[in-house]
A and B are shown apart, each in its own frame.
Chain A
Amino acid sequence: MWSGKGRTAIVGIGYSEITRRPQKPLGLLAVDACRAAIADAGLEPSYIDGLATYPEMPFAGAGNRDGEDVVSVMYIVNHLALAPDIRWYAQIETGMIASPIIEAVHALIAGACDYVLVWRALHRPTRRPSGGGTAGPRAAGEAQFTAPWGCNTIIQWHALAWQRYMHRFGATREALAALALNSRCNANRNPRAFFYKEPMSREDYFNSRWIAEPLCLYDCDVPVDGCVALILTGAERARNLRHPPAYVAGYGQNTAPRRTLLHYALDDYMECGGSLARKLWNSAGLGPHEMNAAQLYDGFNPSTLYWLEAAGFCREGEGGSFVQDGRIALEGELPVNTFGGSLSEGRMHGMGHIAEAVRQVTGRAEERQIQGAEAVCAIDGSPMLRGSGIIVTRAP
């Protein structure tokens, strides 16, 4: 078990507006979220002496202008009156959404700073310059093996993997429908969710248009502008703040080598996802069956199913039946994406998953509260590609 278990905690959550029609640039939405998180913790901006973010643009080829397309550490330093001396910061390139939190935990345990602000700001570009920036007559690098055939967007790769999954395990779109409907149902109890007031029926799901067959519109997250921010501190300080702390019990990041770089070969998902999950469970000394809920990334819907298997909630190939019969509902055996996921809350790229894990173990999950939630995991990324995850607990 990891010696850092329970020594740090998430103590504040802040959301900006999540919208498809932003009235302000992304940088100012990020400032809104950061201010909200600091206030939620019961702190003042001047307490914040550590900063971490994963600022990557939403897809290859998107813009990279600070404050409009991305929000960097220096942007926040320039726009919030934080501690006079920022003692520590990190801007993560590898990994994913939990990765800056993992680094923040390390910094706090090392004594590098006292209060860390972590945020992730996501911009929805109005025009997708698509194809990994390979528009034009030439393609280089990995794209030379996909772009000449027009097969170089992430959703096409997910569609290929899901087609293969259905073939291999005899699964059907019913599995994805169950996940999408579960998320929408939960979002209808989450006032921050983009689809808070819009229910979805089974017919709505099956009648929605194809994006990349066999994936339809409702298998994709909602592209939005918005930001989610969190505050972390050491366990001692955490006990004296406004809300109960969500202790960081363990973490894992995906480090397995991929067997093909060309697209998401389905064959990698158990190994790659497993490399994250093993570290996650071992560090916390907890297993999948001790989780009171699982917040599993759903940038594209099949990822949640793959994570259920790769993280050991069910066996390989059994995800399709696992998600049926209410098992993943709020009152089910393993509630999944209790806040609506990225599919229905909006594309906060995994930060919504972490925020909800915190809410559940601190009794702050409103109408979605799972009674007696002691431990909840949040895992982001696609198990075929990369990812990071944490477990938060009610007790240290």
Chain B
Amino acid sequence: MSRQLAFTPVSGRGTVYSFTVMHQRDVAGFEEDAPFINIVVELEEQQRLLMVSNLPSAERERVRVGAPGEVCFENRGDGVVIPQFKLVRA
């Protein structure tokens, strides 16, 4: 493992490493969204290079471990933009 740390551009492509559907209204700021989906995406550049994301509830039946995904960006307002992943066809 290198000690030379640097920012490197990545493709924004990866696969679903795992996912969960949160039903409990227990997450600050997300109480009204429950049930909502979280996925963890493993980027194609490196094993265990993981990012957390959401998926729309409509994707519940499609999401599975290993499904390919691609980054998109969500504007949350007030100048806040966060990366999200969407499922894509293999």
- Residues on A lying within 8 angstroms of B by beta carbon are 128-131, 134-137, 145-153, 155-156, 159-161, 163-164, 167, 209-215, 259-260, 262-263, 265-267
Contact = CB atoms under 8 A, between A and B. Distances in A.
Given A146-B52, A149-B38, A267-B48, A167 B28 contact: no
Contact of B20 (A128, A135, A147, A159): A159
Nearest to A210: B23
A212 B52 contact: no
B10 interface: no
B28 A135 contact: yes
Contact of A130 (B21, B26, B65): B26
A134 B29 CA distance: 9
Given A212-B23, A266-B18, 5 more contacts: A137-B78, A155-B26, A156-B27, A164-B65, A212-B20
Nearest to A264: B18
Interface in B15-62: 17-24, 26-30, 33, 35-36, 38, 40, 48, 50-54
A267 B40 CA distance: 14
B54 to A, nearest CB: 5
Interface of B: 17-24, 26-30, 33, 35-36, 38, 40, 48, 50-54, 65-66, 76, 78, 80, 82, 84
Interface of B is mostly: strand
A267 B18 CA distance: 12
Most B CB within 10 A of own CB, among A146, A167, A209: A167
Nearest to A135: B28
A224 to B, nearest CB: 18
Contact of B40 (A160, A210, A211): A160
The 9 closest A-B pairs by CB, nearest first: A135-B28, A150-B30, A159-B20, A213-B21, A131-B28, A167-B65, A151-B38, A164-B18, A160-B18
Contacts of A134: 28
Contact of B23 (A130, A149, A211, A262): A211
Most buried by A among B18, B38, B53, B80: B18
A156 B20 contact: yes
6 contacts: A131-B28, A136-B28, A136-B29, A150-B36, A163-B20, A215-B20
